[in-house]
Chains A and B, each alone.
Chain A
C-alpha cells in the first residue's frame, strides 16, 4: 500500500525541477507572511510603547525577541517537510518525556511548575515545544491513514493529543493545554472527521458535564467553575481585570483616544496591560477602527496560511499547515474574546503583539513551518 502511494505521487509536477526558481523560493521565505509579520511587529512596537508607559527597555527586549523569532522562522523554513515528517515520532516521544520531567524536577514559579532549568544555561518551557510537535504528530499519524479517519484512528489520535495535554494541565497551565489540544483537534477535523462523530461527541459531552455538575463536584469546585465561566460574578478577583478592560475598550469609541492618551492603561487600572490584556490598551487608544485594522491583518495571515495548506502537495503538509494556521487564529479569538468579556479568562497572549518572547518565538517557528511547506515544491513523494 505504501509503495503504491509513492509511485502515484511521483507522477505529479516535476517540470519545475530544472527551472530557476524565484529568489524567495530559493530562500524558502514566503514574502506575504513575512510582510504581515513585519506589519504586526510595527503595530506591536507602537502599542507596547504606550501600554508599558514608554518603557524603552521593554521595547528593546521585545525587538530582540522578534529578531530571534524571525531567525528561527527562517531556519525552520529551510528544513523540508519530509525531514519533519521523518523525525516527528521521535520528537513527540522526546517532548512528552520533557513534560514528564517538568512535573518531576521542574522549576516552580507563580504557583505553576512549567519550566525545566539547565543550571547555568537557561530555563525553558517544554510545553512551548509541544505546541509545534502536536500538529505535526497528528498530521503524521492521520496522513498515512485513509481519510476520513475511522473510529479506531480517531481514538488513537485523541490519545496522541490527550497525553501531553493532561501533562500540561497538571502543571497547571490551562491556556497552553487548550492551545495544544486545539492544534491536534484541528488536524483531526481537517482530516475530514465525520459529522456523526462530531455530533456524537457533542451529544455525549453534554450529559457527562451535567452529571459531573450534579453528582461529581464539590460546592467549592462548582463555585470555581462559575467564576471561570462568568468572571464578573467575582469582581474582586478575576472579574476586576474584565471590568477594567471592558471600560478601556468601550471608552475608546470609534476612533480611540489617541496614541499615548489612554487613561485606563496609563493609570495602572488595566492589569497585564502590556501582556495578555494589550488589546484593551490598543482598543482604548486606537478605537474600533484600530481594532478592525488589526483584525484585517490577522485575517490576511490566516487566509494566507489556509492558502498554503490548500496548495500543499501532500496530506501531511496540508493537515500541518491548516492546523498551525487555525491554532494561530485560536490565539487571536480566545485572547480578544476574553479581554472583551465574551470568553472565560485563560492565559492566552495576543499573538505577535503581547509582550513576552517565548510565545512569540513559538508562533514565528510555526510560520517557519508554513514557509517550509510552501517553498519546498521539489518534494513530491510521501515519506516512507
Chain B
C-alpha cells in the first residue's frame, strides 16, 4: 500500500518506548544481580581471606625504590654510585608525639639544634600516607644501637638501610655529572608521584638532571601485612623494581685530571671534544665543589661558604660562563669573508697599528701598537692582526657576520645533553633594536670582527666552533653521554652542516691556524714547541674592563680580578683531528702564554701513548727524532 503522506503515529511510537522501558527494567535487574553476585564473591567466598587481612592485620603497599643507574667514564671509572647507608626514618602516622620524639632523639644521638631543625624540616615534606621519611643519614653503629635500645620509647621511628648517592671522584666531576638532592616541593608537583614513591632523591643538575628518566628506573612494590604498630609480618606479593640504566660518558677521567693539573690553582674552564663524535672528553670548571655535600641536604654553613666565595665554585664556567670571545673567533670571520667572496685569500691590508672608519676619527687599535705592515689573511690569523679583521668586519657587515657565526653555534645552545646551558649572545641589528631600542652603529660592526662588543660566548661554544672547523663543518652536538646500556643520545635536533662554496677553504683556514702554533711569527708558537704532531689553534684575550680611548693597558694597575681572561681554542692533529679544545683562564691575561700551554698538555695526554709523553725539558730532543 502506498503511503501518500508520512504521518507521525503516536500510539506506535509510545509502544516502542514502552517496550524499551520493559527491556530496561530487565537489564537493571540483571545488573543488580551481578552486583549481588560480586558481593557474594567478596563477602562470602573470599570472606576468610579479607577477614584475615583486615581484622588482625593491616594490608600495606610498600614501595620498593629502584636503584639509580650508575655513571661511568669511558674507561669504566665510576663517577656516581649508590652506597649503603643507615638512615633514621619516621612515619608521622605512627608517631603520636612528634616534638617529644625529636627531643628524645636529640638527647640520645647528641644532636645539635641545627641538625634537629633540618630533620624536622625533612619530615614536613609532602608524602603519601603512612610513608616513612628519612630524617637523618649516615648513622654510625653506636647511634643505631642507641635507637635500637630505646625503640619502645620511639614509636614510628626506625633505622633503615638504604642507598645514598655517592660521587667517588668528588669535586672533579661536580660540574659535568651534577648531583642529586632531596625532592623539593616544586619538583613534587612536577614528577609522577607514583614513580617516585619511596625515592627521596632526584637529579638536580648536570647529567644527573638531564638523564633523570634513564637513571631513575621503575618503582617496585610489595603488599605486606603489618600489625597495628606497623611492623611487617608477612609479604603477600612482590613486584621487583627495575633499576635505572647505567650511563657511560665520553669523559675520560685521566684527561680530566690532566686538564685540572694543567689549570693548576687558577680559575677557569677547559673543555675537550672529540670532533668526529661530539663526545666531551674533558669538562673542567674550576674551582669545583664536593657534590656529596648536596645529596642528603647541605648545611647552612657549607652552602653559605660555597655561595659567598669570591671564586664562585658553584658557577659552571663551561656552560654558563659568558665571555667576550676575543680573537678566538677571527678564523670564523675569515671563513665568512672567503665564503661570501668579500675578500680573497691573498687580498692584503696595510696595518699602521690601527684602523679608522672612513670619515671617523676614532682609532681602533691593533694589539701590536707598531703595526704589522702589509698582511694577508693567513698572516693576519697567525699574527692575530686586529686591523685586518676590523677591515674585514667592516666589509662583511654585521648581518653576514651574524649569519655565519650563528651557523657555528654562537648565540645558540650547542650541547646535546647539558642542563642549563647559556645561549650566549651573537648580536644583530634585530637584537639591538629589541634589546636596546637603538640602531646598529658601524663602529659596533668593527669591534665584532675581533670578538669584542656585545658578543658573549661560553667556553663550550668556543670548543664547538673549533670542533666544527676540525670536522669540516659537520655538526655533532657536544654530548657527555656515550650510551646508557644501549640507549643512545637523541640526535634528532642536530643543526645543518656548514657547507662552504669552496671546501678547500677548510684546509686553508686550518693551515692558517697551524701557522699560529708552528710558524715563526705565530702568536702561540711557544706552546707548540716540540710537539710531534701538528696543532691548529688560536689564542685570544677577553677584556674585563673596557680601555678608554688613548689610555694604555697597564695590568699592574688593575686588581688581579680585573685582568683580561686568557682564551685558547685549537685542535690536533691538524690533518686528522682527534680532539678539539677550548681553554679559558680567568684573569690569565695572555692566551698564548697561559691558556695555550694548558691545551698543549691535553693534546699530549690524548694523542701520545702514555710512555711517550714528555715533559718540557726533553721536548727539543724528541722533536728532532719524530719530525721528518
Chain A residues at the B interface, C-beta cutoff of 8 Å: 1, 4-5, 8-9, 145-148, 186, 189-192, 234-237, 239-240, 243-244, 246-254, 263-264, 267-269, 271, 283-284, 287-288, 291-292, 295, 298-299, 302-303, 306, 309-310, 314-315, 318-319, 322, 326, 329, 333, 336-337, 340, 342
Contacts and interface: CB of A to CB of B under 8 A. Distances in A.
B129 interface: yes
Given A5-B10, A190-B24, A240 B17 contact: no
A318 B63 contact: no
B459 to A, nearest CB: 37
Interface stretch (B36-44, B349-357, B380-388, B443-451): B36-44
Interface string B279-307: 00000000000000000000000000000
A247 B219 contact: no
A240 B8 contact: no
B28 A326 contact: yes
Interface in B14-49: 14, 16-22, 24-25, 28-29, 31-32, 34-36, 38-40, 42-44, 46-47, 49
Contact of B29 (A263, A269, A299): A299
User: Which secondary structure dominates chain B's binding surface?
Assistant: helix
B61 interface: yes
B122 interface: no
Nearest to A4: B7
A169 to B, nearest CB: 22
B570 to A, nearest CB: 45
Given A246-B50, A251-B50, A306-B28, 18 more contacts: A190-B20, A236-B197, A244-B59, A247-B54, A248-B54, A250-B47, A251-B47, A253-B51, A263-B54, A283-B39, A292-B36, A292-B39, A306-B25, A310-B21, A310-B22, A315-B10, A322-B24, A340-B38
A251 B29 contact: no
B6 interface: yes
Contact of B54 (A189, A251, A254, A298): A251
Interface string B205-221: 00000000000000101
A306 B28 CA distance: 10
Contact of A299 (B28, B34, B54): B28
B223 A1 contact: no
B118 interface: no
A250 B42 contact: yes
B93 to A, nearest CB: 8
Contact of A250 (B13, B29, B46): B46
Contacts of A252: 43
11 contacts: A1-B7, A5-B8, A146-B8, A190-B24, A246-B50, A248-B54, A250-B50, A251-B54, A303-B28, A322-B20, A329-B31
B500 interface: no
Interface string B221-246: 10100000000000000000000000
Contacts of B8: 1, 4-5, 145-146
B456 to A, nearest CB: 39
Contacts of B193: 237
B608 interface: no
B127 interface: no
B21 A190 contact: yes
A307 B552 CA distance: 103
Interface of B: 6-10, 12-14, 16-22, 24-25, 28-29, 31-32, 34-36, 38-40, 42-44, 46-47, 49-51, 53-55, 58-59, 61, 63, 93, 128-129, 193-194, 197, 219, 221, 223
A250 B46 CA distance: 6
A175 to B, nearest CB: 18
A267 B58 contact: yes
Contacts of A310: 18, 21-22
Contact of B44 (A145, A240, A254): A254
Given A249-B39, A288-B39, A322 B51 contact: no
B155 to A, nearest CB: 16
Top 5 A-B pairs ranked by shortest CB distance? Answer: A250-B50, A251-B54, A192-B16, A147-B13, A237-B194
B496 to A, nearest CB: 29
Contacts of B197: 236
A243 B49 contact: no
A191 B17 contact: yes
A258 B19 CA distance: 43
B54 to A, nearest CB: 4
B38 A342 contact: yes
A298 B42 contact: no
Contacts of B61: 235-236, 239-240, 243
Contacts of B47: 250-251, 253-254
A128 B58 CA distance: 38
B194 A190 contact: no
Nearest to A280: B42
A245 to B, nearest CB: 10
B217 to A, nearest CB: 14
B53 A247 contact: yes
Given A190-B24, A283-B43, A247 B29 contact: no
A315 B12 CA distance: 11
A320 to B, nearest CB: 11
Nearest to B33: A295
A190 B61 CA distance: 45
Contacts of B22: 310
Given A147-B16, A236-B221, A251-B51, A302 B36 contact: no
Contacts of B17: 147, 190-192, 309, 315, 318-319, 322
B441 to A, nearest CB: 47
Contacts of B38: 336-337, 340, 342
Contacts of B93: 268
A244 B25 CA distance: 33
B14 A315 contact: yes
B20 A189 contact: yes
Contact of B42 (A146, A249, A299, A303): A249
A242 B604 CA distance: 65
Contacts of B9: 146
Given A236-B61, A252-B43, A146 B6 contact: yes
Contacts of A146: 6, 8-9, 13
Given A237-B194, A318-B14, A246 B35 contact: no
Interface centre among B6, B8, B47 (most CB of A within 10 A): B8
Contact of A148 (B16, B18, B36, B221): B16
